[in-house]
Amino acid sequence: MYNDVGSRPGVPPNSIPSQPNPFGNAFNVAGSGLIRGGLGAYGGKILGSSSEYVQSNISRYFSDPQYYFQVNDHYVKNKLKVVLFPFLHRGHWTRITEPVGGRLSYKPPIYDINAPDLYIPLMAFGTYIILAGLSLGLRGKFSPEALSLLFIKGLLGWFMQASLLKVTLLSLGCGEGPLLDIIAYAGYTFTGICLAVFGKIISGYSYYFLMPWTCLCMGVFLVKTMKRVLFAEVRSYDSSKHHYLLLFIALVQFPLFTWLGNITVNWLL
């Protein structure tokens, strides 16, 4: 009788139908769900804490890069007036704050003339390289290698200015300012240098007037900025040391501007 069943067409021999296990799938689903849930919660906690740590340190030292490009034509025009003619700035030098997420934050440049931006420094740096190449071309000394060296010279000057501001803050025990703020303030140096180099291209005599003027204006701008903006977070410091550091920042602008404004093939000069 069993042989007849096994010999039926369409039924494989010696095949025994498997009995379903009602608990197997339930245990598998429950086990995989617990594993996925536990690992997901643990991983989410790790990633969440890591993300919060990274975001807090980024906002602490670098801020939001998009913040520094929130500008318009009105801001750029007024900011250039403040940088190139700080004596004519009749308003205050402090930045405007607003409550965001339960804490105070600075308003973006489009709403605050005293806020730092990276648009003007980057445009000024690019203009400096173009004017340097034009100056070399008019004297018959242009070459891609010379322009590359002047590009490195400009970056080195920017780095030196930012390092000066950073070291000044560290010396007063306030080295936690956003790095992009310091880079932005240091980058305004090229606005005055561009004006001096352009004057030198038009007339060599105007360079000897524009260079000291732009040095003086940049020194005043940085002194006002450091005193009212960057030093605002310093709770206690030596006032005499404070004034000496501000005077040192102003005096350093003269050799720095002279070095960057000297457009030659030898970038070290």
Scan for tokens 């420094």, then name that residue.
121
- For residue 172, the model assigns a pLDDT of 73
8 Å CB contact between 170 and 59: no
Please state, in angstroms and rounded to a whole number, the distance separating the CA atoms of residues 194 and 210: 10
pTM: predicted TM-score of the whole model, two decimal places: 0.75
Please state, in angstroms and rounded to a whole number, the distance separating the CA atoms of residues 84 and 208: 16
At 190, phi and psi to the nearest 5?
-75, -15
At 64, phi and psi to the nearest 5?
-95, 120
pLDDT digits (tens, 9 = 90+) for 50-87: 344 334 444 444 568 899 999 999 999 999 999 999 99
The DSSP letter of residue 268 is T
64 dihedral zone (left: phi>0; alpha: psi -120 to 50; beta): beta
For 54-58, 140-144, 155-159, 174-178, which range has the lowest pLDDT when averaged over its residues?
A: 54-58
